Amino acid sequence: METIIKQQQNIKFRAVTIADLDSIVKLYLKQKSIFDSVLTNQFGMPICVAEWNNKIVGYSSVTTTNTENYNLNTHIDSYFSNNKIDENLLQESEPFFKKEWQNGSNKNLSISITHLVDWLNNSNS
């Protein structure tokens, strides 16, 4: 229990950068047990990462459910997975997402997710 508490204290949250995408994709594919590595729009738009000792151990992403709604999701490495990290990551992600997508256009978000997923799928081939 002490190890988990120590890990939580050392976890830092920050916005996603392009340099994070390889680690994020690997974590997503591992968590979803996807073996063909073809991403779909369910991958979403990564928003923030959780880091421990400069290693990405989780991230948040947003997906669209329709033109009106979106979902914020967390993906945490199973070794670090617990409700407190999920909650903190969501708390960091929500205001950042609202600031970046303040126009509220989920159509634009959906198009952006499609472009990101296409780019990631094509850059790995």
Q: 51 is in which domain, residue-wise?
A: 2-123
Query: Total structural domains in the chain?
Result: 1
Q: What is the pTM of this model?
A: 0.82
pLDDT tens digits along 15-70: 999 999 999 999 998 887 766 678 988 999 999 999 999 999 999 999 987 666 78
Q: Using 50, 70 and 90 to split pLDDT, how confident is the model at 85?
A: confident
| Exposure string for 43-70, b = 16+ CB within 10 A, e = fewer | bbbbbbbbbbeeebbbbbbbbbeeeeeb
Helix and strand element counts for the chain (H, E): 4, 4
Residue 105: its pLDDT value, please?
63
User: Tell me, what CATH number does 93's domain have?
Assistant: 3.40.630
